[in-house]
C-alpha cells in the first residue's frame, strides 16, 4: 500500500512537470513586444499608502544604515506613502527582482532600463507631472537609455564614469592610458583588477575603438560577432594580468592603497573612501581612450497600484536637496543642476564633473546590447546581452 | 498502567476501530506518518527541482531575458562544447575534494581526542567549542580570512608568509567553514562506539596504530563519509567565498549565479552538473551506511 | 582503549592546533570590531567602541535580527513537525522505499544551496506570484527537516523500540505510549535537532538570497549588503563579534538540556 502511495506521489510530481512543460505556450514568453502603454494621466493625487522601491545601495537610504543618512523617512512623513526598500547589487539582479512584479519603482542603470522597457515591465512617465524634472541637466534628458521613440520612460537620477584607479605611491604621475591593463607585455602582470560583470566587455570594446580602428566599433554596446570576438580575445589576453575581478570595493581600494594591485577599473567613490582612511593613497584618471560609465533612471512599474506614490517618489528623488545628499553619499554626479549648490563638500560637483558637458563626451554609459545594433547599423546583427553574460561566465570559468 | 488506560484516553468507537486497524496494518501507520512530510517534499522540493531540470531544455529571449518555452538541447551542447566549463567543473570538484580531505585530516584526530582521550568533564566543553563557530556568520568568517590572508595582514606578520588570494586561499577558507560539519558526525560515531572493542583489540596485542587502522577506521568510516557529504556539497555550490578570497578564476557556482538572472535556462543546465555529481556521490556512499550517520 | 602516552600527547597537540585554527579567525573578528580603521588595517592603528555603539543603535540591524529569529523559529517549527513524523516512520518500520525516503530528506542539504535556491525561486516567481516572507520560511523549513529527522531517528533507533513494545505489552495504548515513553525519549533529540535547525536557518545566506521577498531582510542579508560598504563594514564586524559571543548561549543550552553526550552532535 505504501508502494502505491509512493508511486502516486511520483506520478503527481511528474504530472506537474508535464503540465508545466506543455502549458507553457499559453503563459507569458511573448517577448520583444514594442513598448506600449500610456503614461499616467494625472493629476498626482493622494498617495496609496505604500511604495515598494528597488534601488542601488545608497539610493534610497532610510536611516537603517546610518541614522544620519535618511531621505526616505521625510518622504514617508510628507506623503504618507510607506516605503519598503530592497537594494540590489547588479543590474541583472535588479532586472530579475523587478520581473517578479513586486516593486513599484526601480533605479535602473542603462544596462537594465531598455530591457525593462522592451520587456513591457515599465510604463512611460509624463515628465510634466514631475516638477523637479525641469532642473534636470539637459545633457541627461531624452537619451537612448531612458527614452524610446520619443517617449520618456523615467527620470534621470545621476551619473558617473568608470575610472582608472591607481596607487599614488607607485605612480607619481597619473597613467593616461588603459594600455597596462590590457596589453600582453604589461609591466604589472598579476596586479590588474577589472570589474566583475559582463558589462566590462564594453570596456574592452572602448579600448579597441582607440587601438584597433579597423574593427569599426562606433559604440561599445553595439558589437557584431567579429567585433565581439575581438573584445573577448582582448579579455583573454588580459586574463594572465588579472589579480582578481572586483565585486567588493572595500577590498579593491585597500589592495590599491597597499600597492598589492597596481591598476583597476572602478569608481571615484572607491578612491574617496580609501583616501578618507589613508590620505591620497589612490588616484583616479579618465584615460585618453575614453571609458564606460553609468547613468541611472528611476522607472515605474507598468500596472502599479501605487501610481501617485510613485510619481511623488520620482519628484522627491529629483529634488535638489535629495539629489545633493545622494550624490555625496554614493559618490556620483547629480542629475539636478541645482543640487550642486547644496552639497556639503562645495567642490563635489567639480570633482565629479557634474556640469562639464565635454567631460562626458567619451564616457559610454552602460546600455543593454540588443540584436538590432544600437549604433544604427542594419546590415549586421549585434551580439545580445545574454551572449555577453555567457561569454563573461566562460571567461571567468576558464 | 491499566488504570491509566481507562481514565486516560476515551476514544470514540470509530477512533478505536481506526486505531485497531492501524495496529494490524503497520503500512497504514507508515502512510499516515509520512503523508504530510512526503507531500511537503514533493510539492516544495521535488517539483521545483524537476521544473528546474525542465527549464534547462528551454531557451531565453535574447533581449528581455524572459524564458521561451520551446524545447531545445542548445544549452547542453553549449556547455559540452565549451572547454571552459570542463575546466571550471574540474576546478570546482578539485576544490571540494581538497576541502573534504583537509577536513578529514584535521577532523579525525580532533574527534578522536574528544571522544576517546578527553575526560567526561571536558567532552561537552570541547563539543561546545567545536559547535560555537557554526553560529558565527558565514560571511563574517570568510571576511575574517580575507583579513588574515591580506597582504601585510596577520598571516604575513605572524607566520611570515601568506598564500595570498587565490585557489589555496579558497580551499583554506572553505575547510575552515565546514570543519565542524566533519568533526561532529565522526565524534558522534566514535562516542557511540563500544570501548570494549578497542580494549579487546589492545588486549590481543594490537599496537595503537594497527588498532586504529583495522578496528577504528572501518567503524568510523561511515561517519567520515557522512561528514564528507556536507563538506563536499557545501564546497561544490559555493560562489561567495571564491569572490572574496579567490583570484581571477571562479567556481561553478559563480557561472550559475551569473547566468541565473539573464538566462535561467542556461543557469539551470549548468545547475544539473552539481546535481549529477552529488546524486552520484550519494548513491555511491549509500552502501556505506553513511546516510544513517548524518 | 589504552592509548600510549605518545599517542595521547600527539592527539592533544592536534586538538589544540585544531582549536587554534578554529578560534584565531574568530578572535580577529572580535579584535577588528574595536579597530579604529574602517578598512581593518592590521595591526589595528587604534581601538574604539564606536562600532559597537553604532551597531546597537542601528535600526537596520535590529530589524534584521528580529526577522532572522522569526524566520528561524518558523522554519524550526516546520522542521520539527515534518522531521518527527518522518523519523517515527523510518526508524520503527521496515517498508519499501524507506531508504529512498531518508535519501529524499537529505537532498535539500546535500545538494548545493544555489540549486535549492534557484529551483525554489523559479517556482515561486513564475507560478506562485512572487517572493514573500512565507516563501523564505518554506525554503528554510525544507532544508532544516533533515537535522531534526537525523537526530530523532538516531535516538528512536537506539532507545525506544523495545521499551515501547514492553509498554504496550503491559497494556498501554498508543497515545499513552507516545506520551509516556516515546516523547520523553525523543525530547532531548528534538531539542538538539531543533537547535541545529534554528542555527542553520539563522546563518543561511544562499537559499535566503533566492527566496526572500521584498522588504524581508534577514541578518545575513543585511551583513552581505553592508559588508562591502565602507561606511557600514566596521558595524558588521561588531555585529559579527556580538553573534560569536552570544552563540555561546544556545550551545550551552544544548549541552545542559539535551543530556546527550554529543550535545546535538548530529547535523
Residues B193 and B288 reside in one and the same domain: yes
Q: Which residues of chain C have a CB within 8 Å of the CB of A6? A: 96-97, 100
B74: in domain: no
Helix, strand, coil distribution of chain C in percent, nearest 5: 75, 0, 20
Which pLDDT score is estimated for A6? Answer: 35
Q: Does A198 touch chain B (CB under 8 A)?
A: yes
Find out whether B39 and C91 touch, Cβ atoms under 8 Å: no
Closest CA to A196 of A288, A91, A298, A98: A91
Q: For residues C183 and C180, give the distance between their C-alpha atoms in angstroms, rounded to a whole number.
A: 7
Which pLDDT score is estimated for C126? Answer: 79
pLDDT tens column, B193-237? 766 666 666 666 667 677 777 777 888 888 899 889 889 999 998
- A12: pLDDT confidence band, cut at 50, 70 and 90? very low
Among A262, A386, A391, which would you mutate to test the B interface (most chain B Cβ atoms within 10 Å of its Cβ)? A386
Is the pLDDT score of B4 beyond 60?
no
C15: in domain: no
With 0.95 as the threshold, say if the pTM is over it: no
Give the residue ranges of DSSP H helices in B25-121: 26-40, 47-55, 74-81, 83-112
Q: Does C46 touch chain A (CB under 8 A)?
A: no
Mark yes or no for CB contact B37/C85 under 8 Å: yes
How far, rounded to the nearest angstrom, does the alpha carbon of residue A298 sit from its chain's CA centroid? 11
Mean pLDDT of A358-377: 89
| Domain extent at residue C71 | 55-258
- Domain count of chain B? 2
B274: in domain: yes
pLDDT tens column, A240-254? 999 999 988 878 888
Q: Does B220 touch chain C (CB under 8 A)?
A: no
Is the pLDDT score of C57 beyond 60?
yes
Residues B122 and B265 reside in one and the same domain: yes
Mean pLDDT of C126-137: 85
- A103: pLDDT confidence band, cut at 50, 70 and 90? very high
Q: Which of A58, A102, A257 faces C130 most closely, judged by CB atoms?
A: A102
Residue C209 backbone phi and psi in degrees, to 5 = -55, -40
Q: For residues C114 and B49, give the distance between their C-alpha atoms in angstroms, rounded to a whole number.
A: 12
Which pLDDT score is estimated for B206? Answer: 63
Residues B191 and B236 reside in one and the same domain: yes
Mark yes or no for CB contact B137/C7 under 8 Å: no
Mark yes or no for CB contact B44/C18 under 8 Å: no
With a pLDDT cut of 70, the percent of chain C lying above it is: 90
Please give, rounded to a whole number of angstroms, the shortest distance from the CA of B142 to a CA of chain A: 13
- B98: pLDDT confidence band, cut at 50, 70 and 90? very high
Mark yes or no for CB contact A371/B62 under 8 Å: yes
Residues B39 and B89 reside in one and the same domain: no
Which pLDDT score is estimated for C246? Answer: 83
Which pLDDT score is estimated for B294? Answer: 58
Lowest-pLDDT range of A47-61, B182-196, B264-278:
B182-196
Long-range contacts of A15-18 (CB under 8 A, 24+ apart): A16/B47, A16/B50, A16/B51, A17/B47, A17/B50, A17/B51, A17/B54
Residues B24 and B142 reside in one and the same domain: no
Q: In whole numbers, what is the pLDDT of chain B averaged over residues?
A: 82
Q: Does B140 touch chain C (CB under 8 A)?
A: yes
Find out whether A213 and A167 touch, Cβ atoms under 8 Å: no
Angle value at C-alpha C131, between C128 and C133, nearest 5 degrees: 120
Q: Which of A9, A24, A395 faces B42 most closely, judged by CB atoms?
A: A9
Give the residue ranges of DSSP H helices in chain A: 2-23, 73-79, 91-99, 110-118, 179-182, 201-211, 225-238, 249-258, 268-277, 307-318, 320-326, 348-351, 385-397
Closest CA to C187 of C141, C156, C142, C145: C156
B51: in domain: no
A293 CB contacts (<8 Å, ≥6 apart)?
Answer: A159, A160, A161, A162, A360, A363, A364, A365, A366
**Closest residue of chain C to A90, computed from CA coordinates:** C225
Is the pLDDT score of C214 beyond 50?
yes
Find out whether B172 and C21 touch, Cβ atoms under 8 Å: no
- A16: pLDDT confidence band, cut at 50, 70 and 90? very low
Q: In whole numbers, what is the pLDDT of chain A averaged over residues?
A: 86
- Domain count of chain C? 1
Residues B288 and B179 reside in one and the same domain: yes
DSSP H or E stretch at residue A155: strand A155-161
B248: in domain: yes
Which pLDDT score is estimated for C132? Answer: 83
Which pLDDT score is estimated for B251? Answer: 93
C26: in domain: no
Q: For residues A316 and C217, give the distance between their C-alpha atoms in angstroms, rounded to a whole number.
A: 25
DSSP H or E stretch at residue A84: strand A82-87
pLDDT tens column, A119-169? 889 999 999 999 999 999 998 999 888 998 889 999 999 899 999 999 999
- Helices and strands: H and E segment counts in chain C: 13, 0
Mark yes or no for CB contact C125/A249 under 8 Å: no
- A170: pLDDT confidence band, cut at 50, 70 and 90? very high
B52: in domain: no
Which pLDDT score is estimated for C142? Answer: 93
Q: For residues C198 and C79, give the distance between their C-alpha atoms in angstroms, rounded to a whole number.
A: 9
Which pLDDT score is estimated for B272? Answer: 94
Mark yes or no for CB contact A57/C215 under 8 Å: no
- C230: pLDDT confidence band, cut at 50, 70 and 90? low
CATH number where B172 lies: 1.10.3720.10
Please give, rounded to a whole number of angstroms, the shortest distance from the CA of A232 to a CA of chain B: 13
Is the pLDDT score of A394 beyond 60?
yes
* Most confident region among A7-16, B50-59, B117-126 by mean pLDDT: B50-59
Mean pLDDT of B83-99: 94
Q: Which of A1, A387, A390 faces B27 most closely, judged by CB atoms?
A: A1
Mark yes or no for CB contact C111/B237 under 8 Å: yes
Find out whether B209 and B243 touch, Cβ atoms under 8 Å: no
C-alpha distances in Å from residue A73, one per residue of A273, A313, A360, B6: 26, 12, 34, 64
Is the pLDDT score of A10 beyond 50?
no
Which pLDDT score is estimated for A30? Answer: 36
CATH number where C128 lies: 1.10.3720.10
Find out whether A155 and A130 touch, Cβ atoms under 8 Å: yes
Q: For residues B184 and A312, give the distance between their C-alpha atoms in angstroms, rounded to a whole number.
A: 56
Q: For residues C13 and A94, give the distance between their C-alpha atoms in angstroms, rounded to a whole number.
A: 51
ipTM for the whole complex: 0.86
Which pLDDT score is estimated for C40? Answer: 72
A17 CB contacts (<8 Å, ≥6 apart)?
Answer: B47, B50, B51, B54
Q: For residues C22 and B133, give the distance between their C-alpha atoms in angstroms, rounded to a whole number.
A: 7
A neighbour chains, 3+ CB pairs within 8 Å: B, C
C7: in domain: no
With a pLDDT cut of 70, the percent of chain A lying above it is: 91
Which pLDDT score is estimated for A13? Answer: 38
Is cis: bond before C193, omega within 30 of 0? no
Q: For residues A169 and C66, give the distance between their C-alpha atoms in angstroms, rounded to a whole number.
A: 46
Q: For residues B283 and B135, give the distance between their C-alpha atoms in angstroms, rounded to a whole number.
A: 30
Which pLDDT score is estimated for A292? Answer: 95
Q: Looking at chain B from residue 222 to 251, which residues have their Cβ under 8 Å from any Cβ of chain A?
A: 243-244, 246-250
pLDDT tens column, C184-197? 878 888 888 888 88
Residues B22 and B132 reside in one and the same domain: no
pLDDT tens column, C145-162? 988 998 888 888 776 667
Helix, strand, coil distribution of chain A in percent, nearest 5: 45, 15, 40
Mean pLDDT of B97-117: 93
Residues B20 and B120 reside in one and the same domain: no
Inter-helix orientation angle A385-397/B252-260, to 10°: 170
| Domain extent at residue B30 | 11-44
C83: in domain: yes
B62: in domain: no
C265: in domain: no
Which pLDDT score is estimated for A8? Answer: 37
- B52: pLDDT confidence band, cut at 50, 70 and 90? very high
pLDDT tens column, A258-269? 888 999 999 888
Is the pLDDT score of B289 beyond 80?
no
Q: Are strands A105-108 and A291-301 parallel, antiparallel or unpaired?
A: antiparallel
- B115: pLDDT confidence band, cut at 50, 70 and 90? confident
Which pLDDT score is estimated for A220? Answer: 96
What domains does chain A contain, in order, with CATH numbers? 50-159+294-365 (3.40.190.10), 161-292+370-397 (3.40.190.10)
Which pLDDT score is estimated for A269? Answer: 80
Which pLDDT score is estimated for B42? Answer: 93
B67: in domain: no
Mark yes or no for CB contact B110/C114 under 8 Å: no
Mark yes or no for CB contact C21/B176 under 8 Å: yes
Is the pLDDT score of C85 beyond 60?
yes
Grid cell listed for A254? 585597500
C18: in domain: no
pLDDT tens column, B125-168? 888 888 888 877 888 889 889 888 877 778 877 877 777 788 99
**Closest residue of chain C to B22, computed from CA coordinates:** C174
Q: Which of A95, A258, A368 faces B151 most closely, judged by CB atoms?
A: A258
B97: in domain: yes
Is the pLDDT score of B5 beyond 60?
no
Amino acid at each position: 500500500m505504501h508502494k502505491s502511495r509512493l508511486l502516486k506521489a511520483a506520478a503527481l510530481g511528474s504530472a506537474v512537470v508535464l503540465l508545466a512543460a506543455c502549458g507553457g505556450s499559453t503563459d507569458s514568453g511573448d517577448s520583444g513586444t514594442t513598448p506600449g502603454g500610456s503614461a499616467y494621466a494625472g493629476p498626482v493625487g493622494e498617495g496609496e499608502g505604500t511604495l515598494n522601491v528597488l534601488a542601488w545601495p545608497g539610493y534610497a537610504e532610510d536611516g537603517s544604515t546610518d541614522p544620519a543618512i535618511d531621505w526616505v523617512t521625510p518622504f514617508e512623513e510628507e506623503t504618507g506613502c510607506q516605503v519598503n526598500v530592497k537594494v540590489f547589487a547588479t543590474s541583472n539582479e535588479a532586472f530579475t527582482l523587478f520581473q517578479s512584479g513586486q516593486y513599484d519603482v526601480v533605479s535602473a542603470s542603462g544596462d537594465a532600463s531598455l530591457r525593462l522597457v522592451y520587456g513591457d515591465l515599465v510604463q512611460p512617465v509624463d515628465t510634466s507631472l514631475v516638477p523637479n524634472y525641469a532642473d534636470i541637466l539637459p545633457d541627461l534628458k531624452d537619451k537612448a537609455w531612458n527614452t524610446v521613440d520619443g517617449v520618456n520612460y523615467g527620470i534621470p537620477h545621476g551619473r558617473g564614469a568608470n575610472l582608472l584607479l591607481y596607487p599614488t605611491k607607485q605612480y607619481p604621475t597619473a597613467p593616461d592610458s588603459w594600455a597596462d591593463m590590457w596589453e600582453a607585455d604589461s609591466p604589472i602582470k598579476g596586479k590588474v583588477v577589472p570589474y566583475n560583470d559582463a558589462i566590462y566587455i564594453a570596456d574592452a570594446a572602448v579600448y579597441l575603438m582607440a587601438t584597433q580602428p579597423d574593427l569599426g566599433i562606433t559604440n561599445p554596446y553595439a558589437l557584431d560577432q567579429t567585433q565581439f570576438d575581438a573584445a573577448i580575445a582582448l579579455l583573454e589576453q588580459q586574463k594572465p594580468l588579472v589579480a582578481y575581478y572586483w565585486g567588493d570595493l572595500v577590498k579593491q581600494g585597500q589592495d590599491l592603497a597597499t600597492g598589492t594591485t597596481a591598476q583597476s577599473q572602478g569608481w571615484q567613490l572607491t578612491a574617496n573612501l580609501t583616501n578618507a582612511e589613508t590620505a591620497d593613497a589612490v588616484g583616479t584618471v579618465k584615460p585618453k581612450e575614453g571609458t564606460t560609465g553609468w547613468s541611472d533612471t528611476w522607472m515605474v512599474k507598468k500596472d502599479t497600484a501605487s501610481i501617485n506614490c510613485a510619481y511623488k517618489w520620482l519628484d522627491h528623488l529629483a529634488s535638489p536637496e535629495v539629489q545633493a545628499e545622494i550624490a555625496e553619499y554614493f559618490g556620483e554626479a547629480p542629475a539636478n543642476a541645482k543640487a550642486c549648490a547644496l552639497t556639503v563638500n562645495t567642490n563635489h560637483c567639480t570633482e565629479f564633473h557634474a556640469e562639464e558637458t565635454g567631460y562626458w563626451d567619451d564616457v559610454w554609459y552602460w546600455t543593454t546590447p540588443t540584436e538590432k545594433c544600437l549604433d544604427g547599423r542594419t546590415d549586421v546583427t549585434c551580439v545580445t546581452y545574454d551572449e555577453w553574460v555567457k561569454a563573461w561566465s566562460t571567461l571567468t570559468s576558464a | 498502567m491499566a488504570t491509566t488506560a481507562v481514565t486516560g484516553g476515551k476514544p470514540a468507537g470509530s477512533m478505536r476501530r481506526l486505531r485497531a486497524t492501524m495496529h494490524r496494518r503497520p503500512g497504514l501507520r507508515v502512510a499516515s506518518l509520512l503523508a504530510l512530510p512526503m507531500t511537503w517534499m514533493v510539492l516544495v522540493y521535488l517539483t521545483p527541482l524537476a521544473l528546474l531540470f525542465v527549464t534547462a531544455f528551454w531557451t531565453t529571449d535574447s533581449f528581455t531575458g524572459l524564458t521561451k518555452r520551446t524545447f531545445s538541447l542548445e544549452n547542453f551542447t553549449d556547455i559540452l562544447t565549451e572547454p571552459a566549463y570542463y575546466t571550471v567543473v574540474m576546478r570546482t570538484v578539485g576544490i571540494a575534494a581538497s576541502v573534504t580531505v583537509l577536513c578529514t585530516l584535521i577532523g579525525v584526530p580532533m574527534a578522536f581526542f574528544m571522544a576517546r582521550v578527553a575526560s567526561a568533564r571536558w567532552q561537552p566543553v570541547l563539543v561546545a567549542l567545536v559547535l560555537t563557530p557554526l553560529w558565527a556568520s558565514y560571511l563574517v568568517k570568510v571576511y575574517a580570512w580575507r583579513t588574515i590572508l591580506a597582504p601585510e595582514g596577520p598571516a604575513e606578520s605572524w607566520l611570515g608568509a601568506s598564500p595570498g588570494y587565490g585557489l589555496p586561499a579558497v580551499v583554506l577558507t572553505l575547510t575552515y567553514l565546514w570543519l565542524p560539519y566533519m568533526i561532529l558526525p565522526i565524534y558522534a560515531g566514535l562516542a557511540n562506539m563500544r570501548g570494549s572493542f578497542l580494549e579487546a583489540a589492545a588486549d590481543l596485542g594490537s599496537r595503537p596504530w594497527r588498532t586504529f587502522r583495522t578496528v577504528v577506521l572501518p567503524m568510523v568510516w561511515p561517519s567520515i563519509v557522512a561528514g564528507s557529504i556536507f563538506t563536499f556539497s557545501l564546497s561544490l555550490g559555493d560562489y561567495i567565498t571564491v569572490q572574496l578570497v579567490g583570484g581571477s578564476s571562479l567556481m561553478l557556482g559563480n557561472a550559475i549565479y551569473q547566468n541565473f538572472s539573464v538566462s535561467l535556462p542556461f543557469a539551470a543546465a549548468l545547475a544539473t552538473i552539481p546535481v549529477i555529481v552529488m546524486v552520484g556521490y550519494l548513491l555511491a556512499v549509500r552502501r556505506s551506511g553513511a546516510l544513517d550517520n548524518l | 582503549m589504552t592509548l600510549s602516552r605518545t599517542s595521547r600527547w600527539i592527539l592533544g597537540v592536534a586538538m589544540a592546533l585544531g582549536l587554534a585554527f578554529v578560534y584565531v579567525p574568530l578572535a580577529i573578528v572580535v579584535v577588528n570590531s574595536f579597530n579604529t580603521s574602517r578598512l581593518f588595517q592590521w595591526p589595528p592603528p587604534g581601538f574604539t567602541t564606536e562600532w559597537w555603539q553604532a551597531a546597537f543603535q542601528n535600526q537596520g540591524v535590529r530589524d534584521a535580527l528580529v526577522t532572522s529569529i522569526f524566520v528561524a523559529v518558523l522554519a524550526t517549527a516546520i522542521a520539527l513537525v515534518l522531521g518527527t513524523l518522518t523519523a517515527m516512520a523510518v526508524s520503527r518500520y521496515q517498508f519499501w522505499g524507506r531508504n529512498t525516503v531518508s535519501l529524499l530528506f537529505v537532498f535539500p542539504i546535500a545538494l548545493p544551496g544555489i540549486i535549492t535556491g534557484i529551483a525554489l525561486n523559479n517556482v515561486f516567481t513564475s507560478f506562485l506570484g512572487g517572493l514573500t516572507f512565507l516563501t523564505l520560511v518554506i525554503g528554510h523549513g525544507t532544508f532544516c527537516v533533515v537535522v531534526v529527522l537525523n537526530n530523532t531517528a538516531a535516538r528512536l533507533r537506539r532507545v525506544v523500540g523495545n521499551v515501547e513494545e514492553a509498554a504496550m505489552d503491559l497494556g498501554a495504548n498508543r497515545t499513552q505510549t507516545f506520551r509516556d515513553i516515546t516523547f520523553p525519549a525523543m525530547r532531548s533529540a528534538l531539542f538538539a535537532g531543533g537547535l541545529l535547525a534554528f542555527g542553520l536557518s539563522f546563518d543561511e545566506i544562499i537559499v535566503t538570497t533566492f527566496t526572500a521577498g521584498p522588504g524581508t531582510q534577514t541578518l545575513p542579508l543585511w551583513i552581505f549588503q553592508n559588508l562591502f560598504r565602507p561606511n557600514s563594514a566596521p558595524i558588521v564586524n561588531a555585529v559579527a563579534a556580538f553573534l560569536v559571543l552570544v552563540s555561546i548561549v544556545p550551545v550551552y543550552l544544548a549541552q545542559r538540556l539535551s543530556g546527550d553526550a554529543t550535545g546535538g552532535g548530529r547535523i
